[in-house]
Structure 1
Amino acid sequence: MDQVSVGVLVQAVSRDRVDAAVDACGVRERRRGGKLPAHVAVYLTMGLCLFPDEPQDEVAGRVTGSLSAFGVWDAGWAAPTSSAVTQARKRIGPAVMRAVFEQVAVPVAEYDTAGGFLRGWRVMAIDGFSLDVQDTPENAAEFGYTTRAAGGSPFPKARVVAVAECGTHAMLDAEIGPFATGEKTLAVPLLNRLGTDWLLTADRNFYGFPAWRMAADTGAALCWRAPGQLGLPVLTPLADGTYLSVVIDSKVQGGRREQILATARAGAQPDPGTARIVRVIEYDVPDRGDPARREVIRLITTIVDPRQASAAELARAYHQRWEEETGIDQVKTHLRGSGRVLRSKSPDLAYAEIWGYLLVHYAISALIGRAATAAGLDPDRISYMRTLRLVRRSATGTAAFPP
Structure 2
Amino acid sequence: MWDQSKIHERSAVVNAYLARHPRSSPRTSPATPRWPTRPLAGLDQVIRPEDIRQSLTATGRVNKSDCVLTFEVILRVVLAMGLLTDLPIRQVFKHARRLLPGEESPGRSNLCMARRRLGVAPVRHLFGRVVRPLAPPETPGAFYHGLRLMGIDGVVLDVPDSAANAAAFGRPSAGPRGDGAFPQVKKLSLVELGTHVEVAFVVKPCHSDERATVAGLLRHLGPGMLLLLDRAFFSYYRWRQLEARGAKLFARVVRSMILRPVRVLADGSYLAKVYRRPYDRLKDRDGILVRVIRYTLDDPQRVGHGEEHVLITDLLDEAAHPAMELIILYHERWEEELVFDEQKTHQDPRRATKPAQLRSETPAGVIQEIYALSLGHFVIRSLMFEAAATAGLDPDALSFTGCFQILKCRLPECDSKAPASFEAWYRGVLWEMQTERTDPRRNRINPRVIKRKMSKWKKERPEHRHLPPLRKAFPEAVVMRR
Q: Name the TM-score, length of structure 1 as normaliser.
A: 0.85
Note the C-alpha offset of 1:337: 0.4
Q: Counterparts of 1:166 and 1:397 in 2: how far apart (Å)?
A: 32
**2:283 aligned to 231, 256, 259, which one?**
259
Map 1:22-171; keep pairs closer than 5 Å: 22-29=56-63, 32-34=66-68, 36-65=69-98, 79-149=105-175, 152-171=179-198
2:45 maps to 1:20:
no
| Paired position in structure 2 for 1:264 | none
Residues 123 and 165 in structure 1, CA contact (< 8 A), matched pair in contact too: yes
Deviations along 1:280-312, one digit per CA (max 9) or x if unpaired, are: 122223679756933322111121222442223
Residues 1:105 and 1:237: Cα distance change in structure 2 (over 3 Å): same
Residues 1:190 and 1:291: Cα distance change in structure 2 (over 3 Å): closer
Note the C-alpha offset of 1:49: 2.5
Give secondary structure in 2 for the equivalent of 1:50: coil
| Paired position in structure 2 for 1:70 | none
**2:238 aligned to 211, 234, 240, which one?**
211
Q: Counterparts of 2:410 and 2:239 in 1: how far apart (Å)?
A: 45
Q: Counterparts of 1:233 and 1:313 in 2: how far apart (Å)?
A: 23
Bigger Rg, structure 1 or 2: 2
Residues 1:311 and 1:185: Cα distance change in structure 2 (over 3 Å): same
The number of aligned residues is 371
| Paired position in structure 2 for 1:374 | 390
Deviations along 1:342-394, one digit per CA (max 9) or x if unpaired, are: 11111011100001111111111121122212211121221111111122223
Residues 192 and 215 in structure 1, CA contact (< 8 A), matched pair in contact too: no
Note the C-alpha offset of 1:147: 1.3
Residues 128 and 160 in structure 1, CA contact (< 8 A), matched pair in contact too: yes
Opposite residue 162 of structure 1, the aligned amino acid is S
Give secondary structure in 2 for the equivalent of 1:285: coil
Opposite residue 214 of structure 2, the aligned amino acid is A
2:44 maps to 1:10:
yes
Q: Counterparts of 1:259 and 1:222 in 2: how far apart (Å)?
A: 25
Residues 127 and 162 in structure 1, CA contact (< 8 A), matched pair in contact too: yes
Residues 61 and 397 in structure 1, CA contact (< 8 A), matched pair in contact too: no
More relative contact order, 1 or 2 (CA 8 Å, 6+ apart): 1
Opposite residue 338 of structure 2, the aligned amino acid is T
Note the C-alpha offset of 1:253: 3.2
| Paired position in structure 2 for 1:344 | 360
Deviations along 1:236-275, one digit per CA (max 9) or x if unpaired, are: 11122211111111xx333x43111xxxxxxxxx53xxx3
Opposite residue 288 of structure 2, the aligned amino acid is R
**1:277 aligned to 265, 285, 289, which one?**
289
Structure 2 unaligned segments of length 5 or more: list them.
1-38, 415-482
Give secondary structure in 1 for the equivalent of 2:312: strand
| Paired position in structure 1 for 2:4 | none
Residues 1:75 and 1:318: Cα distance change in structure 2 (over 3 Å): farther
Opposite residue 379 of structure 2, the aligned amino acid is A
Residues 138 and 347 in structure 1, CA contact (< 8 A), matched pair in contact too: yes
Residues 255 and 309 in structure 2, CA contact (< 8 A), matched pair in contact too: no
Q: Counterparts of 1:169 and 1:333 in 2: how far apart (Å)?
A: 15
Q: Counterparts of 1:384 and 1:182 in 2: how far apart (Å)?
A: 31
| 203-212 vs 335-344, greater mean Cα deviation | 335-344
Q: Counterparts of 2:327 and 2:296 in 1: how far apart (Å)?
A: 11
Map 1:230-245; keep pairs closer than 5 Å: 230-245=257-272
Deviations along 1:79-130, one digit per CA (max 9) or x if unpaired, are: 5432332122112211221111111111111222221000110011111101
| Paired position in structure 1 for 2:3 | none
Residues 1:287 and 1:348: Cα distance change in structure 2 (over 3 Å): farther
Give secondary structure in 2 for the equivalent of 1:172: strand
Q: Counterparts of 1:142 and 1:284 in 2: how far apart (Å)?
A: 43
Residues 1:8 and 1:154: Cα distance change in structure 2 (over 3 Å): farther
Opposite residue 382 of structure 1, the aligned amino acid is L
Deviations along 1:144-170, one digit per CA (max 9) or x if unpaired, are: 111124985211111101111111111
| Paired position in structure 2 for 1:384 | 400
> Structure 1 or 2: larger strand share?
1
Q: Counterparts of 1:29 and 1:200 in 2: how far apart (Å)?
A: 43
Residues 1:12 and 1:78: Cα distance change in structure 2 (over 3 Å): farther
| 197-206 vs 209-218, greater mean Cα deviation | 209-218
Q: Give the CA RMSD over aligned residues.
A: 2.6
Opposite residue 374 of structure 1, the aligned amino acid is T
Residues 51 and 129 in structure 2, CA contact (< 8 A), matched pair in contact too: yes
| Paired position in structure 2 for 1:222 | 249
2:375 maps to 1:359:
yes
Map 1:326-345; keep pairs closer than 5 Å: 326-338=338-350, 340=354, 341=356, 342-345=358-361
Residues 297 and 304 in structure 2, CA contact (< 8 A), matched pair in contact too: no
Opposite residue 173 of structure 1, the aligned amino acid is A
Residues 1:196 and 1:79: Cα distance change in structure 2 (over 3 Å): farther
Q: Counterparts of 1:219 and 1:240 in 2: how far apart (Å)?
A: 26
Q: Name the TM-score, length of structure 2 as normaliser.
A: 0.71
Structure 1 unaligned segments of length 5 or more: list them.
67-73, 261-269, 399-403
Opposite residue 393 of structure 1, the aligned amino acid is C
| Paired position in structure 1 for 2:328 | 316
| 177-186 vs 329-338, greater mean Cα deviation | 177-186
Residues 1:392 and 1:150: Cα distance change in structure 2 (over 3 Å): farther
Q: Counterparts of 2:398 and 2:259 in 1: how far apart (Å)?
A: 41
Residues 269 and 293 in structure 2, CA contact (< 8 A), matched pair in contact too: yes
Q: Counterparts of 1:297 and 1:253 in 2: how far apart (Å)?
A: 23
